[in-house]
Chains A and B, each alone.
Chain A
């Protein structure tokens, strides 16, 4: 082997006593790790191609396979880890920018795990969600500051346009192109069944999915791909994407090879052309410019649809959010630095942006301080992993959460973090027909509905424990949270007391 050799990350362990050489692993691996040797009647493995997506492990009928970390490690030290050294090798080999997928994998603080939830004891009794009604419904959009009355003295019940969610969770933006047709079909069908929303991302809306418009948020991003009147009309809300948690400050790039057939038609760009979303919106250099786009979109949709502005959580997020809240937008979506992506430069993904917990707490506080919290609803994303993360986010001040990584996990993603190769063995992050068909939307939608139903039950349990029977009463109720192992400064930003206080 030469200097170019990079030791494979994983090892394929096959239990020869169990393997029946059925070749399922061989047929299922788009990376071509497994190969049947007809002469010896056995299956060989080339682990250098393995990304540990576990497709073969999951489908092996005799459980003969396991994928383990390659124990053949480089001589690491605290400064130069195995992966750091290998990155150097790879760049020395290729001369290229390193690409990665999904969220930041580094051991940076996950504040959700350092926040604990309260429960009622003795006073303010807890509520049993199996016996008593529990409300998880939320409305997203601008709320009035005060009660107003009509001329005849009756209450004015008219709200500006709102999104009604059966529970405070939505599927966040993943474009058709970055994920497959069947993944979109699953998200759309599940959203409809659940009474929530999914988001087109910057890939346009496939004609087959216009029928799910009532549960669709259509995105307008810097490349404006797939945006036209019918598209804006089709959705229940329009989202302006300013940034993404996994790659704040940069645009997107879907290579021409993936712009084929329906993807090209849906994005409204020629087949084979690279879809490059610029880093900024070239017409937005200020909050005033943003306001123009917000109102352009409101004009285009006759003020019937809420406008969402999505930004990545970055250093001065509170000030940015304050500006957005004054721009006429109805909803602010903030994406934390652990949010996933179909492809991002590794350095950006792993080093740019801030945790969503801190961003959320500071934004909510800032908007309250400025008396404009009711101008907007807050939706947060960037690795919301469970019902308890949702509950903590709501208590920190969010109106709802965006989930994407959890959703694709439900669809079968095994977080191998190689979406950028387009060879997703689970049929999610790929456009190859033979791989796309591996995701049957009947199963996909069902699994998403299962996941959300389970979360909804858990949210109700947690709320009941706190003696709260409506999710609205939890929003911004930071008294329900305590920090553990956090510094004074962290507690101050999160606006919560330490456990025991």
Chain B
């Protein structure tokens, strides 16, 4: 299955992935309209220090501990993609408690969010990958 991978050798820490992610999931067609003057809640986040950076997002584990731990059954695996059903989620944050990658986070209004490989928006392919200026984030089979 194709997943998003980051090569830290090429990640510049420019944070464009975060903005592209937030925009892709905003439902807006203009980035300025979507993100201007607001805090952004990306599902991919740049981690690192002054020397090395890497974008971290959901690994879409084959045996996902977040899904196994979800107390409301809101997290599920669909064709390999771990997705969250916001209708069922009660924001207990158990997924944040267990995700070894720190890849689940609280979004706007405390909503629990994670990378869904852009399958739920109109981006077509993961926005972080599409917008990465240095091909540090790739979407491929490994």
Direct contact of A and B (CB under 8 A): yes
* Residue of A17, A433, A442 touching B32 (CB-CB under 8 A): A17
Q: Would you call the interface of chain A mostly helix, strand, loop, or mixed?
A: loop
Q: Is A109 an interface residue, CB under 8 A from the partner?
A: no
For the complex of A and B, the 5 pairs showing the least CB-CB separation, nearest first, are: A20-B35, A440-B10, A18-B32, A20-B36, A440-B134
Q: How far is the CB of B131 from chain A (nearest CB, A)?
A: 7
Contacting pair A24 B31 (CB below 8 A): no
Q: What are the interface flags for B17-32 relative to A under an 8 Å C-beta threshold, 1 for contact and 0 otherwise?
A: 0011001000000011
Task: From known contacts A22-B15, A440-B134, infer whether A61 and B31 are also in contact, taking CB-CB under 8 Å.
Answer: yes
Residues from chain B with Cβ under 8 Å of A28 in the complex: 12, 14
Q: Is A69 an interface residue, CB under 8 A from the partner?
A: no
Give A contacts to B, CB under 8 Å. Answer: 17-20, 22-24, 27-28, 41, 58-59, 61-62, 64, 433-434, 437-440, 442-443
Q: Is B135 an interface residue, CB under 8 A from the partner?
A: yes
Task: From known contacts A22-B15, A27-B14, A61-B16, infer whether A440 and B32 are also in contact, taking CB-CB under 8 Å.
Answer: no
Q: How far is the CB of B86 from chain A (nearest CB, A)?
A: 25
Q: What are the interface flags for B31-52 relative to A under an 8 Å C-beta threshold, 1 for contact and 0 otherwise?
A: 1100111001000000000010
Task: From known contacts A41-B37, A440-B134, A440-B135, infer whether A62 and B31 are also in contact, taking CB-CB under 8 Å.
Answer: yes
* Residue of B14, B19, B51 touching A20 (CB-CB under 8 A): B19
* Residue of A41, A62, A437, A442 touching B12 (CB-CB under 8 A): A437
Contacting pair A437 B9 (CB below 8 A): yes
Cα separation A41 to B131 with both chains bound (whole Å): 24
Residues from chain B with Cβ under 8 Å of A59 in the complex: 14, 16, 133
Cα separation A24 to B13 with both chains bound (whole Å): 9
Interface centre among B20, B51, B131, B133, by most A CB within 10 Å?
Answer: B133
Cα separation A433 to B35 with both chains bound (whole Å): 31
Residues from chain B with Cβ under 8 Å of A439 in the complex: 134
Cα separation A24 to B37 with both chains bound (whole Å): 15
* Residue of B32, B134, B136 touching A64 (CB-CB under 8 A): B32
Contacting pair A437 B10 (CB below 8 A): yes
Q: How far is the CB of B99 from chain A (nearest CB, A)?
A: 26
Task: From known contacts A18-B32, A41-B37, infer whether A24 and B134 are also in contact, taking CB-CB under 8 Å.
Answer: no
Task: From known contacts A28-B14, A59-B16, A61-B20, infer whether A20 and B134 are also in contact, taking CB-CB under 8 Å.
Answer: no
Residues from chain B with Cβ under 8 Å of A27 in the complex: 12-15
Interface centre among B10, B35, B135, by most A CB within 10 Å?
Answer: B10
Give B contacts to A, CB under 8 Å. Answer: 9-10, 12-16, 19-20, 23, 31-32, 35-37, 40, 51, 131, 133-136
Cα separation A27 to B23 with both chains bound (whole Å): 20
Cα separation A437 to B16 with both chains bound (whole Å): 16
Q: Give 8 new A-B contacts, CB below 8 A, not counting A41-B37, A61-B31, A437-B134.
A: A20-B32, A20-B35, A22-B35, A24-B15, A27-B15, A58-B133, A61-B16, A438-B12
Residues from chain B with Cβ under 8 Å of A62 in the complex: 31-32
Cα separation A304 to B10 with both chains bound (whole Å): 39
Q: How far is the CB of A39 from chain B (nearest CB, A)?
A: 15
Cα separation A74 to B97 with both chains bound (whole Å): 63
Q: B10 — nearest CB in chain A belongs to which residue? A: A440
Cα separation A433 to B52 with both chains bound (whole Å): 10
Cα separation A443 to B31 with both chains bound (whole Å): 26
Q: A441 — nearest CB in chain B belongs to which residue? A: B10
A sample of 24 inter-chain contacts (CB < 8 A) reads A17-B32, A17-B36, A18-B32, A18-B36, A20-B31, A22-B15, A22-B35, A24-B14, A24-B16, A24-B19, A58-B133, A59-B16, A59-B133, A61-B23, A61-B31, A62-B31, A64-B32, A434-B12, A434-B51, A437-B10, A439-B134, A440-B10, A440-B135, A443-B135
Q: How far is the CB of B14 from chain A (nearest CB, A)?
A: 5
Cα separation A440 to B135 with both chains bound (whole Å): 7
Residues from chain B with Cβ under 8 Å of A433 in the complex: 51
Contacting pair B134 A61 (CB below 8 A): no
Cα separation A371 to B46 with both chains bound (whole Å): 66
Cα separation A23 to B40 with both chains bound (whole Å): 13
Q: A446 — nearest CB in chain B belongs to which residue? A: B135
Residues from chain B with Cβ under 8 Å of A24 in the complex: 14-16, 19
Residues from chain A with Cβ under 8 Å of B15 in the complex: 22-24, 27
Cα separation A64 to B9 with both chains bound (whole Å): 28
Q: How far is the CB of B125 from chain A (nearest CB, A)?
A: 17
Contacting pair A440 B31 (CB below 8 A): no
Task: From known contacts A22-B15, A22-B19, A24-B16, infer whether A438 and B36 are also in contact, taking CB-CB under 8 Å.
Answer: no
Interface centre among A19, A28, A62, by most B CB within 10 Å?
Answer: A62
Cα separation A59 to B134 with both chains bound (whole Å): 11
Cα separation A27 to B19 with both chains bound (whole Å): 14
Cα separation A119 to B117 with both chains bound (whole Å): 53
Q: B23 — nearest CB in chain A belongs to which residue? A: A61
Residues from chain A with Cβ under 8 Å of B16 in the complex: 22, 24, 59, 61
